[in-house]
A and B are shown apart, each in its own frame.
Chain A
Amino acid sequence: MKKPIRIAALLTATAALALPVPGPARGDEAPPAASTKHANLLGYTQFPQRDGESLYKSVCAACHMPDARGGTGAGYYPPLAKDANLAAWGYPATLVMNGSKGMPAFRTMMDDAQIAAVVTYVRTHFGNAYTDKVSVDEVAALRKAQ
């Protein structure tokens, strides 16, 4: 699926999946439920970073790697470097929001401005040059539409 996806088609697709909003993940054996408040004993579920680069380095790089080349094991993390799937911003924005196939949903962990910032960053770095800026309002509309 290495081709740009139109936003309208994408919205339909995600609406059909009706991906629900995940709450704070409480893994039984994993660290206990986190509060949204920063820095307390239970951790926190909202990233404090505001700019695209910091968000990428603090979140996305965990799987897509600091140089955006992804990784392959039993499954794989797609590279984001030189990625034609990023042509339409709605595709990465929807994935960041809802997750899919191993990609976690970050809609409760990032607000609209953070999603816009990190998507803009990825679309303008790592050999990607999609210069149309993702606006916070558009991300907010996308969130609402789902």
Chain B
Amino acid sequence: MDKGASILKRRDLFRMIGAVAGSSAMYQAMTSLGLAADSQYAGPIKLQGAPKGTKVIVLGAGWAGLVSALELRDAGYTVELLEYNNRVGGRAWTIRGGDTITELGGETQKCGFDPGLYLNPGPWRIPYHHRGYLDYAKRFGVALEPFIMVNYNAYVHSDAYFGGKPQRFREVQADFHGHVAELLAKAARQDKLDQAVSKDDQETLLEALKEWGALDKNHAYVAGHDSAERRGYAVNKGGGLMPDPVGGPPIALADLLRSDVWRALTFGQTHQWQSTIFQPVGGMDSTPKAIGKSLADITTLNAKVTAIHQDDHGVTVSYVDARTGKDQRQAKADWCVCTLPLTVLSQLDVQVGAEMKAGMNALSYFTAVKTGLQFKRRFWEEDDHIYGGITFTDLPIRQIAYPNFGYNAPGKGVLLGTFAGAAPGFELAALSAADRVKLAVEQGARIHPQYTAEFETGVSVSWHRSPTTMGCAAAWTPELRAKHYRNLAELNGRVILAGDHLSNLVAWQEGAILSALDAITRLHHRIVAA
């Protein structure tokens, strides 16, 4: 496996620099895509002066629809909420034992998880700065617990390197930083950084590199106490007459580069994934369920929207029973907040302007596959000492994420055995759910051999086979955004769209919340002004 010739291409070097420098360059690139933006939540919304008797129909009871319906209802509007699924929450969904999942194509899975265990097949974490989400969780009394993004003892796995043996994140990170610090220290001591760093600053830089990279007194990164304090000991510290601690040899820089394991280092450094991150206790559906409960009297489940028509006087939404395709009904309102995914909306009979239609048609959704696996025991904790967090691999399953609750308890556990997107995501999405589970077990066993003996049951969700979303989330590009974003977000006659697809936080619940708050605020101002 000689990838040596290609290892230090400029692209890789930049990425490497990103990993070293706290990924400021990558961060900048991400900001330009709107991905690293902080939430602009400005506190609970206050809509005053709603005209009596004005009715708004809200389509879709995911986060955007729930927030819209809740806040408009509380502002004094008459609200009707239609939802395709037999539940609220949309992608903010939790699968538990006894649940039945039917994907497009007709394959049905019955989840066999034990009580208390679950899979969040959609969103699964809430950054501390998603203030809209946190506010709704607080308002509706939903308890949160920490989501572990970075676990130093989880693995980074390259199937083709290190004999396929997974490496500990702490070792990969310490060794990568150590080697890079040593290289920079060498350059500084050979006066090769004179133009970039003043003579005085070079002394400080050397001191900082020694500290940051865990270098020894000669500015070398080698086996020993300094490096072991970061990467961990080969023989751990003990008591009494136990053996003295021993630091293991670092992984060679060339192996770190060639194996690609360094790519795992920046995940927890990007803004959306920086500590602290939360998850709702008991599953991601907790908050939408609580909001949905307060809207039960105005919600119609199992409603498949077939047409959205509008004229000068109002909006007419046609829908059928989603389970039978029959029982055609019409709902009339003065205004409509439509949160349906664009993959679905673009296929319906919708009376909106040509520019909005062009946007609906142009935006496709990226794919994602998640697979949850139940094991007889929490071997990742008992044997491998991994409590929560994520293992990264170059196998198609991409990630193994360990449960962030129930630590150190005896008994069973459910982990996330696959989280795949891009090309591997499609390759998995094209498999039956049964085969996705099988593949997750087979591939995961290359990292945790205990899989084979301990596996009990699994469920898999392919978001392109989701009857309601037909994809994971909107695949915006800067070009698409420049051309279509405003046309999709502006009020179009009596219809306004909302959802995470109309935010700079695509695929985050916060994006749906902010989009909804912004859309209903503009709608309200338009109504009041009339």
Contacts and interface: CB of A to CB of B under 8 A. Distances in A.
The 4 closest A-B pairs by CB, nearest first: A73-B467, A71-B104, A25-B366, A102-B343
B422 A45 contact: yes
B493 to A, nearest CB: 21
A59 B427 contact: yes
Nearest to A101: B346
A136 interface: no
A133 to B, nearest CB: 24
Contact of B347 (A18, A27, A32, A101): A101
A66 B431 CA distance: 9
A73 B105 CA distance: 9
Contacts of B422: 24-25, 31, 34, 43-45, 109
Interface stretch (B202-210, B246-254, B326-334, B357-365): B357-365
A58 B435 CA distance: 13
A101 B361 CA distance: 4
A30 B426 contact: no
B419 A39 contact: no
B366 A17 contact: no
B214 interface: no
Contacts of B106: 71
Interface in A15-35: 17-32, 34
Given A62-B465, A102-B347, A103-B364, A29 B508 contact: yes
Interface in A63-110: 63, 65-66, 71-77, 99-105, 109
B483 A47 contact: no
A7 interface: no
Given A58-B426, A73-B466, A29 B358 contact: no
Contact of A30 (B104, B160, B507): B507
A41 B362 contact: no
A140 interface: no
Contacts of A57: 430
Interface of A: 17-32, 34, 39-48, 57-63, 65-66, 71-77, 99-105, 109
A102 B348 contact: no
A116 to B, nearest CB: 18
A22 B465 CA distance: 22
A27 B421 CA distance: 9
Nearest to B511: A28
A34 B420 CA distance: 10
B278 interface: no
Contact of B470 (A20, A25, A26, A74): A74
B423 A30 contact: no
A75 to B, nearest CB: 4
Given A27-B506, A74-B467, A45 B479 contact: no
A31 to B, nearest CB: 4
Contacts of B394: 39-41
9 contacts: A17-B362, A25-B421, A29-B507, A34-B421, A60-B430, A65-B104, A74-B305, A74-B344, A75-B346
A20 B473 contact: no
A45 B423 contact: yes
Contacts of B159: 39
B261 interface: yes
B84 interface: yes
A104 B479 contact: no
B263 A41 contact: yes
Nearest to A33: B422
B123 interface: yes
Contacts of B346: 75, 100-102
Given A41-B156, A59-B427, A74 B465 contact: no
B475 A22 contact: yes
B347 A76 contact: yes
Contacts of B483: 18, 20
Given A77-B104, A100-B361, A43 B465 contact: no
A102 B471 CA distance: 8
A13 to B, nearest CB: 11
B35 interface: yes
A30 B156 CA distance: 19
A40 B462 CA distance: 22
Given A27-B506, A41-B260, A102-B346, 4 more contacts: A29-B507, A63-B465, A101-B361, A104-B365
A65 B462 CA distance: 12
B55 interface: no
Contacts of B470: 63, 73-75, 77, 102
A104 B367 contact: yes
Interface string B361-376: 1101111100000000
Nearest to B480: A20
Most central of B267, B472, B475, B511 by chain A CB within 10 Å:
B475
A104 B462 contact: no
B154 to A, nearest CB: 13
A31 B368 contact: yes
